[in-house]
């Protein structure tokens, strides 16, 4: 039985070693720089203003190709938007509903309870509109990529002309932080591509930082509550351990 268990672990280890990772896929180790987000660390919290700007970038730029089907418009209230603002944002989109009394599907303005509208009706249509490449859903992209928000920030700021001697495949773009450095997605964001409502200068770093913050919040909106609960549990266990030790010393004080 022990021998069979060791064989099983060996097989699992071999499969894990064979799985592609960013470093293996690229043939080299790619160091992702730390962007220094406000939510880093055990006491980190989301910058609501940055996340709101990030949603603006997603809505005006990214949503043309990338869906976020796990989010509803009403979730935007957690970023500090009012009911009226959320309703106004939702009403800018139309969604398919029905059937009606005649058994027909129909389009109507989106409501806060509706999911974010998808840019394409299905995966085949998405591939056809993007030269065969499928724009991934961004709902939990920071959880699905090693490096999380740092990777998203690095990817968006990592486009550049290919170095001398590098041959690019047709339709590919050079990105120094993407595994293999050749990515089908053209550079999606540029400086001053959006005009932020709060007047923040839309530098490339700022745009990438804000949309990465929004995507991190979308993937893990309960992050702050979970961390706060963790701190409370640690404090409780520390106090409980101290009390248990004091009781032990009291009970066994006369035993030598």
pLDDT at 27: 53
94 domain-assigned:
no
Percent of the chain with pLDDT over 70: 89
Q: Mean per-residue pLDDT for 205-212?
A: 97
Show the domain range for 144.
45-71+115-245
pLDDT per residue as tens digits for the range 222-248 = 999 999 999 899 999 999 999 999 998
Which CATH number fits the domain that encloses residue 144? Answer: 1.10.760.10
Angle at 36 between CA 34 and CA 40, to 5 degrees: 105
Instruction: Please give the distance of CA 67 from its chain centroid, rounded to a whole number.
Output: 12
DSSP bridge pairs for 96: 107
Q: Mean per-residue pLDDT for 139-148?
A: 94
pLDDT at 10: 41
9 domain-assigned:
no
pLDDT at 18: 37
The number of domains in the chain is: 1
Using pLDDT thresholds of 50, 70 and 90, give the confidence band for residue 28. Answer: low
pLDDT per residue as tens digits for the range 173-183 = 999 999 999 99
Give the Cα separation of 60 and 177 in Å (integer): 24
- Residue 204 scores a pLDDT above 80: yes
Instruction: Show the tokens assigned to 247.
Output: 């009781």
100 domain-assigned:
no
Give the Cα separation of 18 and 37 in Å (integer): 32
pLDDT per residue as tens digits for the range 59-85 = 999 999 999 999 999 999 999 999 999
Q: What is the pTM of this model?
A: 0.81
207 domain-assigned:
yes
pLDDT at 5: 43
pLDDT per residue as tens digits for the range 90-107 = 999 988 888 888 888 888
84 domain-assigned:
no
């Amino acid at each position: 039985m022990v021998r069979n268990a060791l064989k099983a672990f060996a097989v699992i280890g071999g499969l894990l070693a064979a799985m592609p990772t960013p470093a293996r896929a690229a043939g080299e180790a790619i160091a992702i720089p730390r962007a220094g987000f406000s939510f880093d660390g055990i006491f980190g919290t989301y910058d609501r203003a940055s996340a709101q700007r990030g949603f603006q970038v997603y809505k005006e730029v990214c949503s043309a190709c990338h869906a976020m089907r796990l989010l509803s418009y009403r979730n935007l209230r957690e970023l500090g938007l009012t009911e009226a603002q959320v309703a106004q944002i939702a009403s800018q989109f139309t969604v398919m509903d029905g059937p009606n009394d005649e058994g027909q599907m129909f389009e109507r303005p989106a409501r806060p309870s509706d999911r974010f509208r998808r840019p394409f009706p299905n995966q085949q249509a998405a591939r056809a509109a993007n030269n065969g490449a499928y724009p991934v859903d961004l709902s939990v992209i920071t959880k699905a990529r090693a490096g999380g928000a740092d990777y998203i920030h690095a990817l968006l700021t990592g486009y550049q002309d290919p170095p001398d001697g590098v041959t690019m495949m047709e339709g590919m773009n050079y990105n120094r932080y993407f595994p293999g450095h050749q990515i089908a997605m053209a550079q999606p964001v540029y400086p001053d591509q959006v005009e932020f409502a709060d007047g923040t200068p839309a530098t490339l770093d700022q745009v990438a930082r804000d949309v990465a913050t929004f995507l991190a919040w979308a993937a893990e909106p309960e992050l702050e509550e979970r961390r706060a609960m963790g701190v409370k549990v640690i404090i409780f266990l520390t106090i409980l351990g101290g009390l248990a030790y004091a009781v032990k010393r009291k009970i066994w004080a006369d035993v030598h």
